[in-house]
Chain A
Amino acid sequence: MVNLDKLIDHDKAVQSKAIFWDQEVYDQEMDNIFGRSWLFLTHESQIPEPGDFFTTFMGEDPVIVARQQDGSVKAFINSCTHRGNQVCHADSGNTRSFVCNYHGWAFGLDGRLAGVPLEAEVYFNNLDKESVALRQVAQVDDYRGFIFGCFDSEAPPLAEWLGEMAWYMDSWANSGGGAELIGTPMKTILKCNWKVPTENFIGDGYHITWTHIAALQVIGGPLGEAFGPGGGSIPFEDMGAQITTRHGHGFGVIWDASALIHRDPQNYVEFQQQTLPEVIEKQGEWAGKMYMGHWNASIFPNCSFLYGTNTFKVWHPRGPHEIEVWTWSLVQKNMSPELKRQVQKEAIMSFGTAGTLESDDGENMETCTRTNRGNQTRKGTMNSSMGVGVEGPHPELPGVVGSSFIGETSYRGFYRFWDEMMRASDWSAVRSNDETWIERWLGADAVSQVPSSKVA
């Protein structure tokens, strides 16, 4: 077992570099985090019809997600229960069955074993087919069309797992006809630990103006101007906020800046302004402010998105030192087809495989991982202390709210919950902290510095 006492120091806001390199930490992550958390699978728009399937991973486990004849969604491990061969090799498609290439075992859309060649002759009809169905993912559910799966039957329901994060996401997932992912995902690799991009998306407002300065200068717009050659004109105090939630999900938001990475933002912003009254009517002024903001966000453990830049990503772990990056475009259903295409093109131009901002991040993430190969290096710590002490509960906003967009509140919230999951014996141990997590983490006196008067 990993000695967890030396990995995360919440008081100093540091993490051991070993958690980005050591195999034994990774192995425990696969059990305690990927084995117990709800993991993003796909969006219902990717498998609209009965028989539609999509193949993905939960941790390193290959998984088939299939729309059933009754319209429900099931997910099962993409490995034959006979000798382990993969039973589906396509990214997606429509089918009635998954037939193993090895011996021809045929599994139905529901994962049950439907056909066995020579069943009577070689098994003498003694094969209990129910017992060799493809292994089902214990829980599959969707939140406003975003389909997640969880291997742990004891985990709380998906809506509870998303918790406070769901309220924030509703501002765009429950307006404008709802949200969807369009297109087939782009896939690349990064030789980095899976937590590095997750933490970057969850809370790194700090890097934007330095890492991405070249692209921002070309794009122009509010960020390009604020951080351009003159620089320094940004009003930090009123720039935005950082939020972290019970189960480690979090984001940073820049107010009134949803289209900040769009080269031609007019049509997108017009759509948002038309939709804004609906958001405010359903959820109030604060949700409207969220809706018009730009978010960098992660859903614990390995799913991230940029709302406003319309990019949605999953970081599939491939051992402690490599990930597969899957990237979709995120749109609202009521957008016109032309606007969806425009938004998608901008999203891919910035954070696609050849994106002008994407390429800036990759090497940082790889090198942040690779330096930890060094034995002495690995004995050091990562620092995420920015904004300690100016965060806490907020009278009108759920979760813990940090006072500055450029801060590390949501980093710390991510590692708080990472530590909790790594230590917990099971879900009931996690649940026992539900009422006290903020106090245990920040003390009883913590309070957000973000004033309530900030509503637009």
Chain B
Amino acid sequence: MDQQEAPVSMELAYQVEQFYFREARLMNQRKQRQWLETMVHEDVHYWLPITEVRMARDKRPAPTPEDGAIYNDNYGDLDDRIKRLETGLVWMEDPPSKIRHLISNVEVYEADQPDQLCVYSNFHIYRNRRQRDETNLIGGREDVLLREQDGFKILKRKINLDMRVVLDKNLYFFF
């Protein structure tokens, strides 16, 4: 992110936080379609890179969207994932699992483009399935939000998952 790290107004920061809390609630309520259609821009890049464990002296570049990534999605890819869930034929989601997103450390900055915001946030995602199957995933997000007439839209989301070996069997939900 290249932005002047000057604080935005309390009102704007509040609006962004409310946007994230609504997003988290839609995920918890399994309303992924509503999330996609009301909160995600059609030019979105939704990205969760694979980050190797490397020595501090290792000068190889950090991953780019050209590299393989756990998520490297455009709008159509996200739509395909949601269509799959909507078939009602995803057996591991019947009975449905539970998911809870806790969003914190929201930092809002003006971007170089006047209608865009750069936003950092952290997440703690708790998943609970069947009887005792539970996982906790913690990390951060770097977003570019677009300000539109009717609110914000996610234009870019980079997810930084703070674990090399994902201590879970999959990550097919949204962050």
Contact = CB atoms under 8 A, between A and B. Distances in A.
Are A and B interaction partners?
yes
Given A93-B55, A189-B166, A189-B168, A215 B84 contact: yes
A214 interface: yes
Contacts of B58: 90, 93-94
Given A91-B54, A189-B169, A363-B92, A353 B164 contact: no
Given A90-B53, A355-B170, A214 B87 contact: yes
B165 A188 contact: yes
Contacts of A352: 68, 70
A353 B87 contact: no
A94 B52 CA distance: 14
Interface string A307-322: 0000000000000000
B71 interface: yes
A152 B66 CA distance: 40
Contacts of B2: none
B55 A360 contact: no
Interface in B119-175: 129, 164-172
A108 interface: no
Interface string B67-111: 111111000010011011101111110000000000000000000
Given A189-B166, A214-B84, A354-B48, A89 B68 contact: no
A348 B55 contact: no
A380 interface: no
Main secondary structure of the interface of A (DSSP, over half): mixed
Given A90-B55, A184-B52, A189-B168, A360 B92 contact: yes
A89 B172 contact: no
Contact of A363 (B80, B169, B171): B169
A122 to B, nearest CB: 28
A354 B169 CA distance: 9
B26 interface: no
A4 interface: no
A92 B71 contact: no
Contacts of A422: none
Contacts of A93: 54-55, 58, 60
Contact of A359 (B54, B71, B172): B172
A424 interface: no
A163 interface: no
Contact of B72 (A185, A215, A348, A366): A348
A191 B71 CA distance: 23
Interface in A313-336: 324, 329
Contact of B68 (A218, A348, A354, A358): A348
B44 interface: no
Report the 6 A-B pairs with minimum CB-CB distance, sorted nearest first: A362-B169, A183-B68, A359-B170, A214-B89, A359-B172, A214-B87
28 contacts: A90-B55, A91-B52, A91-B54, A92-B52, A93-B60, A94-B58, A95-B55, A184-B50, A186-B68, A186-B70, A213-B87, A214-B89, A214-B90, A217-B89, A218-B83, A219-B80, A329-B68, A344-B68, A349-B77, A353-B171, A354-B48, A354-B70, A355-B170, A356-B84, A356-B172, A358-B172, A360-B91, A360-B92
Interface of A: 89-95, 182-191, 211, 213-215, 217-219, 263, 324, 329, 341, 344-345, 348-349, 352-356, 358-360, 362-363, 366
